Amino acid sequence: MITMDDIIREGHPTLREVAAEVSFPLSDEDIELGKDMLEFLKNSQDPVKAEELQLRGGVGLAAPQLDISKRIIAVHVPSNDSENPEPILSAVMYNPKILSHSVQDACLGEGEGCLSVDREVPGYVVRHARVTVTYYDANGKKQKIRLKNYEAIVVQHEIDHLNGVMFYDHINEANPFALKEGVLVIE
C-alpha cells in the first residue's frame, strides 16, 4: 500500500526527469502499480482512512512521485453531486498524451497544490481549458477522452510530472496573479 512515505518531495532529481514510456503488454508490476496509485487516491479522499494512514488528500498521482520514472498516472476526481456518487473521472493512464487542446486557457482560482510539495505556492497556474487525451488502460486498450475544467487541469498537472515539470514552473514569478484576457478562472 502506498503511503506518504513513498512520495518523494521537490528537490528530488527524479521529479525533474522525463519519464520513460511503458511497453505493452504491461508487466504485472506496472498493472499493480497503477492499481496501488488509484487506491492511494481513494484512501486519501476517505476521511477515516486518510486519518488512519496520515494521508494528504489528492486527486492525482504520477509514478515519478514514487521515484518510478515511468509514464503512468492515476486520477480520481470525486463526484460533487450528492444525487450521483459516481466519480467524475477515475482512471489509471499509461503513456497519456495530450492529443489536442483548446485555444482558451484556464486556471484554478485557488491555485494548485502537489503531494510532492510541502508548502503553499500562491499564484495562477495557467493551463489549457480543454484537452483531448489519449492513453492506454491496464488492458492495453487505447482510450481517448475529452476533458474540461477541473478534470482537464488535474490531468495536465499529472502529465507534467512525466515531463519533469512542477506546477509552479507555470506561475508568473514577477506577478503570480497576473492573467491575460480570456483566461477562464475555475472556482
Q: How far is the CB of 130 from Zn ion (least distance, A)?
A: 21
d(CA 94, CA 134): 9
Enter the C-alpha cell of residue 142. 487505447
Q: Which residue number, 94 or 168, has a Cβ lying nearer to Zn ion?
A: 168
**Contacts with Zn ion, residue ranges (CB under 5 A):** 114
Kindly name the residue from 158, 173, 181, 187 that is annotated as catalytic. 158
Rounded to the nearest angstrom, the gap between the alpha carbon of residue 123 and the centroid of all alpha carbons in its chain is: 18
Q: Which residue number, 26 or 126, has a Cβ lying nearer to Zn ion?
A: 126
Q: Which residue number, 4 or 24, has a Cβ lying nearer to Zn ion?
A: 4
Rg of the chain's alpha carbons, rounded to an integer? 16
How many residues does this entry show for the chain? 187
Q: How far is the CB of 157 from Zn ion (least distance, A)?
A: 6
Q: Active site includes 120?
A: no
d(CA 97, CA 19): 13
Q: How far is the CB of 68 from Zn ion (least distance, A)?
A: 14
Backbone region of residue 67 per phi and psi (left: phi > 0; alpha: psi in -120 to 50; beta: other values)? left
Q: Which residue is nearest to Zn ion (CB)?
A: 114
> Any idea which residues carry the catalytic annotation?
158
